[in-house]
Structure 1
């Protein structure tokens, strides 16, 4: 019998799942837990992706987890100071704040949000009260049978948040989700599940940010299931600027209704190993989808972006721009897929991935894909990988600018195409400051 990939992880998880079930009490009979059990059974039968898995060909996350984590010990108590907690937050951002400590919702640090048209609830409370939003949307978009790490997250889903934006509601301030971990005493691992439903003609911005404080390793997974209803406008930010000991897998699965507008921003700035899966289904006519990403890597950081824009109906538009700057021994991976289904006539879909390698030791693997089953479409995709323009560098140095400063100027200009798509000035300034500090080292 062929050995299942990640068997040592599965052995640890079996004990964990038994303990997890015992702690659910009455919730163990809920519809949500039935989904959890199905996901866990699927995971135990299929295992984790092995080295021959096409989807994880350049990112062996299974091996990384086996090598670096025991996954059989409870997380240590959260012990960070208020100063350490506040240091993880975006300064100058006027937002509705929701805080999780070691994966658990903190009512003390979170805002008491009382805004007309906005309902925010911790997922744990939603499961406990058997709320319609959590029960009806849990597991509907992120399919556990299609990815082992989605199955892992689904099986252990208990913490996260549900966000419901009413029809025609315009939420002026961003909703920011801070996930703060304490790995100062031992390794840390937890799983987050968020459910977002943006009603018809609504408008909102959501930010998800993970931070870990401490010298031990951390392993986190997050799954976002997002519904963007008819004519809704939703902005979603994923900011990853964690420690060099942080391993993180993100899954964003979204569906869009007619004439909706969805913009997703993914900024990967630091960590040990990061995998970002972004899957958007354009399910009606008149949809606009924007997928923008920037990965700025150094040291041994490994970041893998896998994206899917699935055009299912006619008269829709998608535009994707991902840029990468790699230094040290870092590694970047980009795999972008555009599907144009037979009914998706008059589709306009564009994809671009551009990379700059600063170091001879840095590498990138990029694979744009375009699959079209319709004939009346306008689509393009492409990728470039290279070094900085030496003529431009010479031009700057000839005007008395030191080499390091000249390099930083050129790299900031390269990254600016993505940064300029950020509409919120506080978020843009926060990201620009991080990028500038990194590039001017």
Structure 2
């Protein structure tokens, strides 16, 4: 077992980082060395012992290297009915020869975009894993959508991660949409192999005025993945951003989602579903920062936990002093299917304005036995009846996925997990 310290855990990886973005890499390194890997005594990670998990699971770290992917593997990984652009990644490295994208979208390797404001949205000082990624990411991609451009079909971000013990995969994605632009993204990963590895992903999204952006993500890496993902977006005047995150598997997973509402009449929507079994641990941390008057946020996360799984939900809404006329809603609901399943939920409001409409809440319970009996009394067998009730609970999140093919794919996966077909 390795001994992790702030100084030496990832020092070799940081020192081996490419020369590009030297200034922000240095800042990331300084922040990582200052913060170190989070321990349980830190409030933001008090229910998620990710430092201990990394320490126990992976003896040493090295950067994951790109590996060959075939067109057949890409085709097999894409879910049925998908119609849109496909951007392929292998251990975080963009694979242009297997990718295709709408001609209106400018797709560039980060190495060729030195003028990007990386780190200006997802800031290294906020989280040590963001700092680590900023200091040592090997490659990444930027997507730029011109103003007044509507991308009709979704853009699939298809990542292949090759699980080799001790490797760290650090994807880095920058998305920028001009004023009045519209687009939808589907973030989909597949794991090759079953060895333990660490995935540390950072996505920064910069939307223009009156932009409409959707970001749908499914986390289904397999039972050995230790994963941290951070998605953060700036939402400007008259713009709307919608996120739907579905978590189904992993060893220990941490999902950070941060929305910065920076303009009047802006809207941020955050929806999440986590279906956990075995010993899977998923921690959803969300943050909505209301800085300007007349903005709205909506948040709904739901969890179904079985076996010895553990879920964490910590949702924060900040309403700044100048953010009058804010409308903010937050709700977290959970069903526990086992006496050994655990959920730690902590919805939070911090309000400094006095003319606002804000609410939050959480519920935790078991399956409604009366409703289950009602369905069985009408000839539906117990397994199917249970699946129907659980899907009715989960479906409220899935209905916010705008792309029909991806929504149907998620419905199928959820149906398989719940023991019922829909």
Q: Does 1:90 align with 2:90?
A: no
> Which range moves more in the overlay, 419-428 or 41-50?
41-50
How far off is 1:40 after superposition?
Answer: 1.0
2:135 is equivalent to residue 155 of structure 1: yes
What displacement does 1:163 show? 0.9
Deviations 1:196-254 (A, max 9, x none): 11111110001212221112112111111111111100001121011100111011111
1:301-380 aligned at under 5 Å gives the runs 301-380=280-359
CA distance, structure 2, for counterparts of residue 41 and residue 228 of structure 1: 29
C-alpha RMSD over aligned residues: 1.8
Is the aligned partner of 1:175 residue 2:155? yes
Residue matched to 1:139:
119
1:15 and 2:12 are equivalent in the alignment = yes
Q: Indicate yes or no: 2:276 matched with 1:276.
A: no
CA contact (8 A) 2:61 2:166 kept: no
* Cα shift at 1:290: 0.6
CA contact (8 A) 1:6 1:62 kept: no
Q: Distance in 1 between matches of 2:6 and 2:75?
A: 34
Query: SS of 1:93's equivalent?
Result: coil
Structure 1 217/85 Cα, relative in aligned 2: closer, same or farther at 3 Å?
A: farther
Q: Is contact 1:142-1:150 (8 Å) kept? A: yes
- Structure 2: where are the runs of 5+ without partners? none
TM-score, normalised via structure 2 length? 0.95
Q: Displacement of 1:281 after TM fit?
A: 0.9
Contact 2:179–2:211 at 8 Å: present in 1 too?
Answer: yes
Work out whether residues 212 and 218 of structure 1, in 8 Å CA contact, stay in contact via their aligned partners in 2: no
Change (3 A) 1:79 1:230: closer
Q: Which moved more, 1:223-232 or 1:83-92?
A: 83-92
- Give the Cα separation in 2 of the matches to 1:159 and 1:292: 29
Q: How far is the alpha carbon of 1:64 from its aligned partner?
A: 1.1
Deviation at 1:434, TM superposition (A): 0.3
Structure-1-length-normalised TM-score: 0.91
Paired residue for 1:108, among 88, 97, 105? 97
Structure 1, residues 327-346: CA drift from partner, whole Å, max 9, x if none?
11110100011111111111
* CA positional deviation for 1:428: 0.5
CA contact (8 A) 1:100 1:180 kept: yes
Shift in CA distance, 275/163, structure 1 to aligned 2, threshold 3 Å = same
Partner residue, 1:292: 271
State the aligned residue count: 419
Map 1:169-248; keep pairs closer than 5 Å: 169-183=149-163, 186-248=165-227
Is residue 123–residue 158 contact of structure 1 (8 Å, CA) maintained in 2?
no
* Corresponding residue for residue 31 of structure 2: 42
In structure 2, the residue matched to 1:259 is 238
Alignment partners' CA distance in 1, 2:171 and 2:204? 11
| 1:393 lines up with 2:380 in the alignment | no
Show structure 1 runs of 5+ residues with no match: none
Question: Could you tell me how far 1:158 is from its partner in structure 2?
Answer: 3.1
User: Closer, same or farther in 2 for the Cα pair 1:78/1:286, shift >3 Å?
Assistant: same
Q: 1:376 offset after TM fit, Å? A: 1.0
Partner SS state of residue 27, structure 2: helix
Contact 1:258/1:287 (8 A) holds in 2: yes
How far apart, CA to CA, are the structure 2 residues paired with 1:72 and 1:272?
A: 18
2:241 aligns to what SS in structure 1? strand
Shift of the alpha carbon at 1:371?
1.0
Q: Corresponding residue for 1:53?
A: 42
* Alpha-carbon offset, residue 89 of structure 1: 2.3
Distance, in Å, in 1 between the alignment partners of 2:391 and 2:334 is 13
1:122 to 109, 116, 123: 109
For residue 188 of structure 1, report the CA deviation from its aligned partner: 3.4
Secondary structure at the counterpart of residue 188 of structure 2: strand
Which SS does the other structure have where 2:293 is aligned? Answer: coil
